[in-house]
Amino acid sequence: MTAFDAYKSLVENQWCPGCPNFGILTALKKALVTLDKLPHEVCLVSGIGQAAKTPHYLSCHVFNGLHGRAIPAAIGIHVANPALTTLVTSGDGCVYGEGGNHLLHAFRRNPDLTVLVHDNRIYALTKGQGSPTTRRGVKTRLQFDGVQIDPSQMLATAIVHDCSFVARGFAGDIEGLASILVRAIGHRGLSLVDILQPCITWGHWSMDQWKDHVITVPSDHDPTDRAAAVSLALETDGAVPVGVLYETAPREPFASSYRARVGSRPMAETPPIERTAVEKRLSRFEIRET
């Protein structure tokens, strides 16, 4: 059994004291321990932002890439080394804003990745501008008269695209979040977990206000019912349902036909094409005599 402390990182944490990101970090470690994953079996991929620093704060493989580009990098890592359990952990600005197009196409590809979106509904690291999930009318350090455009609805969009595991978590409920993450990571195919994470510095709602809004997904909800799942996903401002919204039989994951052909070992451990096979192809350019 993997010990919780196996994931301990000695890197100095740069989050604000009391940030709910700490709760997400704890939940993530708990989930990995529950799944009995060892640190060297896990790769965390992130973009830029406070949430994107998460990979540094637990011990596992890290690819901390560019803002918005965590998903394509994770896809490359996953294809090259399918032995790794690869997760993306980044914020709403990174995954839904700068990298929104990649997420849309990830729904289509269905790579076996888990995407954790630390959704604090604000750009925190750049000090308080509106994010793709900031509500209309909320005043920010840039939208002084209030945000004038509507928030994106990425969970509903994910379900519409038949992303086969879509959940909403809450950073204020570490145990509940950990159990969602266990299911998300265990799911074969793309899993999207939007995690409500109050920003204690720039946020519109405090943790206590959030606690008043969060409800658990009704016990009679059928997670294979796409229409019902979309309805729950669209509940973002009143009583916000937390839990697994949508889960269907996994579709064929990305790169499975390639893997069926070449096996599941890391590319680095399998030999490339033989020299003679390439030479044979080059000889096809030669002109035959009449």
Binding residues for other proteins, per CB under 8 A? Answer: 11, 14, 38-41, 43, 45, 48, 53, 55-56, 59-66, 69, 71-81, 83-84, 101-102, 104-105, 255, 258, 261-262, 266-270, 272-273, 275, 277-279, 281-283, 285-290
Query: What residues contact 226, with CB distance under 8 A and at least 6 apart?
Result: 159, 162, 246, 248
Radius of gyration of the CA atoms of the chain, in A: 21
Nearest distance, CB of residue 3 and other proteins, angstroms: 15
Residue 252 CB, shortest distance to other proteins, in Å, is 15
- DSSP label at residue 194: E
Q: Quick one: how far is CA 49 from the chain centroid?
A: 14
Indicate the residue among 239 and 267 with the shorter CB distance to other proteins.
267
Closest by CA to 256, choosing from 189, 192, 159, is 189
Count of residues in the chain: 290
Of 145, 200, 141, 207, residue with least CA distance to 174: 207
Angle ∠(169,107,105) on CA atoms, nearest 5:
125
CA distances, 160 to each of 121, 154, 233, 238 (Å)? 22, 10, 11, 22
In the complex, least distance from residue 56 CB atom to other proteins, rounded to whole angstroms: 5
C-beta of 95: minimal distance to other proteins in Å? 13
Residue 7 CB, nearest distance to other proteins (Å)? Answer: 11
Rounded Cα distance, 13 and 22, in Å:
10
Q: Return the closest-CA partner of residue 157 out of 285, 83, 34, 246.
A: 246
CA dihedral defined by 242, 248, 249, 255, rounded to 10 degrees?
-80
Q: Which is nearer to other proteins, 78 or 183 (CB)?
A: 78
Cβ proximity to other proteins: between 47 and 241 the closer is 47
Nearest distance, CB of residue 235 and other proteins, angstroms: 29
Spatial distance between the Cα atoms of 239 and 215, rounded to a whole number of angstroms:
6
**Least separation in angstroms between CB 45 and other proteins:** 7
Nearer to other proteins, 17 or 238 (CB): 17
The residue among 41 and 225 lying less far from other proteins, judged by its C-beta, is 41
Cα distance between residue 155 and residue 184, in whole Å: 14
The nearer residue to other proteins, 109 or 226, going by C-beta atoms, is 109
40 vs 136 by CB, closer to other proteins: 40
